[in-house]
Chain A
């Protein structure tokens, strides 16, 4: 019986991606060790279900990915969650110093009157430190890194299953309510950042 994509990926997940995610988290935690106001630094291997769903995606009548193991860039993904918005900028500077990026983008709604997902996304080359336990020939070359504030993180976690992965069609009312929560997170981030600047000197204070 031939192996399914899920079988192949499960093996890849166990032998390659999980060890990389573990060692990447350790490396990133080391880099962030002396940085103030970091809530958490995590890394994970993409789950089998999530990978198979993405890998079998159809676009314009054909499979989006010709060779998903080579093309999907978030098989390993890491996240750094900071307290305030100014901390995101500081962490970005650290990340730029230690990693080569093939993508470096701020994700935010296009329309100024829209409130939704926000965060800073990178696609970065995996460092040697993350490849110490695996056969590098089978390892992905890059991983995704997200840098978010606590409020951006909270909103995206809360909205992920309810809105982004919703199993039912979303009404205008659903979307308006989700946008309202995003606007509150956006506002809270700004207020906290202002308070941090006024009371603690902002990003420069440790």
Chain B
């Protein structure tokens, strides 16, 4: 059960192009409805913050990151002054497009773990309707802060020893999936001076190995072809931020094929580790070569194994070739004409 020790809030106007903007903040009383709502968010953060991230080392390569250090200080001694400095940092990277935000910093513990949650609620216009003795009063309110909108963001850090372990955390960034890397630039890269825990190459290689192995393991031609189609179509997701599970869901591969790919990831957690797809890296591992002959035959195999699977013999000067292979028939399919 989580215990909350401190909650601070700060109004964060976009200040990227106006460094003179003043920041105002306040501690939040640990009781009442607002506290109840924030405590609920704090409790659910472990489930909701599901994108693993890591702080970056200093440009000179040393183990130093000013945001990480600010977070460790906040956990060790939470003060409004420290939260205001953090809000100033967020303001300095917020553009007019990011808009006005409300920053909440919640410090507490779960068991032996110190737990720090940083969240930003975007401002949205809303309508305030109140019944009074004259009937109904309706007014537009411009500074309404809501969690359930597309640009809600949060970052979560947990450890029994923050000064040693607060090198990685997890975020929820509802813009990330919709906008690709640009949202990550603002919240993850600029504000948190962090990056996705899984690098583009590592994530792309991991997904490629899992999909390629699933093709090998598939027992029917139909399953193999559906997976190979997904591998081919993945080029369309180049440079997008995604997780292996999202990729498989987008191709609607069905639960058995999806599970077959996920089973070939090194850990269950790898299924939800976001990364930016590096299509060259992916293709270097998972590419399939198909050769079609004018005889009506077609041959398909993993690119790096094609020449081992099919022996090629040149039959004459006119380009005639013979391909041959030896194996057991594991599946056979007759494809009819689509109606």
A residues in contact (CB < 8 Å) with B: 66-67, 70-71, 97-106, 123, 125, 127-129, 131-132, 136, 141-142
Contact = CB atoms under 8 A, between A and B. Distances in A.
Nearest to A140: B165
Contact of A102 (B63, B206, B265): B63
B199 A98 contact: yes
Interface string B158-180: 01110011011000000000000
B165 A141 contact: yes
Contacts of B164: 67, 70-71
A99 B266 CA distance: 16
Contacts of A104: 57, 61
Interface stretch (B15-23, B149-157, B267-275): B267-275
Contacts of B6: none
Given A67-B161, A103-B63, A142-B167, 4 more contacts: A70-B165, A97-B199, A100-B195, A132-B266
A161 B200 CA distance: 40
B82 interface: no
Contacts of A128: 198, 206, 265-267, 269-270, 273
Given A71-B161, A102-B57, A136 B269 contact: yes
Contacts of B159: 70
A186 B168 CA distance: 37
A66 B76 CA distance: 15
B55 interface: yes
B46 to A, nearest CB: 13
Nearest to B168: A141
A136 B201 CA distance: 22
B202 interface: yes
A89 to B, nearest CB: 14
B202 A127 contact: yes
Contact of B201 (A67, A71, A98, A123): A98
Contacts of A66: 161
A136 B161 contact: no
Contacts of B55: 102
Interface string B38-70: 000000000000000011010001110000000
Nearest to B194: A100
9 contacts: A98-B199, A100-B197, A102-B55, A125-B54, A127-B266, A128-B265, A129-B266, A141-B165, A141-B168
Contacts of A100: 54, 195, 197, 199
B188 to A, nearest CB: 12
B212 interface: no
A132 B267 contact: yes
B262 to A, nearest CB: 12
A103 B201 contact: no
A102 B205 contact: no
B161 A103 contact: no
A97 B273 CA distance: 16
Given A102-B167, A105-B62, A123-B63, A67 B160 contact: yes
B171 to A, nearest CB: 15
A154 B234 CA distance: 46
For B165, B265, B266, the residue with the greatest tally of chain A CB atoms inside 10 Å of its CB is B266
Residue of B55, B62, B164, B273 with highest tally of chain A CB at under 10 A: B164
Contacts of B165: 70, 141
A123 B202 CA distance: 17
B48 to A, nearest CB: 20
Contacts of A101: 57, 61
B156 to A, nearest CB: 15
Contact of A105 (B61, B161, B205): B61
A154 to B, nearest CB: 25
A67 B162 CA distance: 11
Contacts of A131: 266-267, 269
B202 A136 contact: no
B286 to A, nearest CB: 15
For B55, B198, B269, the residue with the greatest tally of chain A CB atoms inside 10 Å of its CB is B198
